Structures are given as C-alpha cells and as structure tokens.
Structure 1
Amino acid sequence: MNRIIFISLIIVLLSSCSYSVYSSGYPHLKTIAVIPFENSTTEYQLENDLFLDLSERFEQDGRLSLVTFSPDCQLEGKILDYSDKIYSYNSAGIEQYQIKILFSIIFTDLKKNNILMKNDTLVLSAEYSSSDENAEFSTEEEARKEIYKDLFDMILRETLEQW
C-alpha cells in the first residue's frame, strides 16, 4: 500500500515539474507560409533545396502549420551569395572546404503587420572534408544541410522563442 502511494506521489511530482523552451510570446501565430527564396547565385536549385528543407523542418517542429493561403506569419528571403572554398590544407593536399551562404531574411507577423525578424546580411557557414574520416561532414551537400538547419534554428530562436 505504501509503495503504491509512493509511486503515485513520484508520478505526480515528475509530471508537474516539466519545463518547456517554447515561448508563448506569439500565441496568435499558428500557421506559416514559407515563400521560396530568390536565388541570386549561380548554384543551380539551391533555392529549391532550401525551400524543401525549411518546409520539412517547420512540419517536423510542429509549432506552426504550413499553409499557402491566409497564413498568420510569413518567412521570405534571398540567397545573396554562395561560396565553397578551401578552408585548410597540409602538405598532402586539401584537408577541408568551407561553404558560406549569405542570406537576407524577413519573418513577418501578418496578423499584427509586424516584422519579427529582419537580417539582410546573415552569413552561415559549415566545413566538410572528403579526405578526413573524423570530419563531421564529408560532402558539400551534408555541409549545406547543416547550414539550412542552423538557419531554421536561428529563425526560431529570433522569433518564436523570444522571451
């Protein structure tokens, strides 16, 4: 009997001690439209890859539902520059490459007609190495996906997760 009471007490205590990193700063935002980014680079299909990646991340995150008509908020932007350059080398040759992408981003609350985030000079980067087996990323595509992830995380941090 005491054991049942003890276990019940533990369950009640644990369930009441939850913590959430999600802010309720914008409870009126329930839907989002992700507008395909304009691509000002020579990298073919970069804007499509980014659009699909961001859309998938919003779907997986679940805080905002993707819609095309009458969204509560909107994400739009431009890919202004893309570079893939040698980052480090040794006597044997190239060790790492670094990708840098320059973005212009606008996240707008359409319900209140308010820009929640605007950054015209956002640079994100990631390194990859096809020769170093200890490298976090071994292809340009993997490094690009990491940049997309960082972009998504930064957008959420600067908008929905603002306290």
Structure 2
Amino acid sequence: MARRIALGCAFVAILAPVSTTFAQPTGTAVAEQGETRLSGGSAGTPISAALTTRFATASERTPAAVTRCSGGRVHCSLVDRLMLRVGKDRVAVPRGAILALADIDRGALHRLTPDRYELVLDCGDAAAAYQARLFFDRRRVDRLEIWSSEAGKMEEATTYRDLSHAFL
C-alpha cells in the first residue's frame, strides 16, 4: 500500500508544471495615471513593457455601463496602451488583452525560456483582485491568463492566433 501512495505522489509531481501555480505579487509599482516602464531579461536580450493608464470617466464607472473596474476602489485606473519589446523588436499586443486590464498595482517581466516571456500584472482590489499573465515571444502575445488572487486559481485563459499569413 505504501508503495502505491509513493508512486501516486511522484506521478502528480511530474505532471504539475510550474506555470499552473499562482505567482506571488512582486515587481514594480504601476502608476494609476500616466506611463510606467518595466524591464527585465538579460543584457543580451532585454525585454521591456510600457503601460499607459488613466482614471476611468464617470460613465465608465456606472453599474449600467460595461465596466472594466474591479469595484473596490475610489479611483478606477484603466490601461489605454501596452507596448512590449524584446530587444529592438516590438511585440504585437491584441486589443482584447489590453481591455482585460484595470486597476494594476504591480508588474514584472520574466524570461521563461530563451524565446518565451511573461508579463505578470497584479490587478484589482480585495476579493476582486486578480493577476493577469501575458505570454509572448519576439513577435506577438499568444496567451492571456487571469488568475483569482483570492482563490489562487486560474479563472480564464485566452489564446490569440496568428492570422498574419491569412491575408497574403
């Protein structure tokens, strides 16, 4: 019996990749309004992000409007622009990924492999807090994951497809 339990535990440990866990908040504070720059990577291939945020208008904060605000703050800060770079290459960021972002507290860039990167943004407030994780390479963002900060589990994941070759 003890042998079966040990095998089961070893099997679970092998199947659980590192990316399926909630990352603890770290990184650089993001301004509620204005531009914030983040950097990471190595001297050989630097990675950078520039986020432009602004306070939501009154109509964007009303319950009747479609809102991106987390609901727990006096001021709601929305992301208007996100620019990512790997070295000198500008990374394509889908508009839908930007629309998912609001009330960002902190941000950090990570190199996952020599050609894969991640932008982690801690967003929201209290029970509405979440972590947005954008995965990208030199050309484009290809995945967005939204993790519940309260539960520590992934709430949603969006995969972005490369359609650049469809119009040739």
TM exceeding 0.5: no
Greater helix content: 1
Larger radius of gyration: 1
TM category, shorter: 0.3 to 0.5
TM-score in terms of structure 1 length: 0.37
Greater strand content: 2
Give the structure, 1 or 2, with the largest relative contact order (CA under 8 Å, sep 6 or more).
1
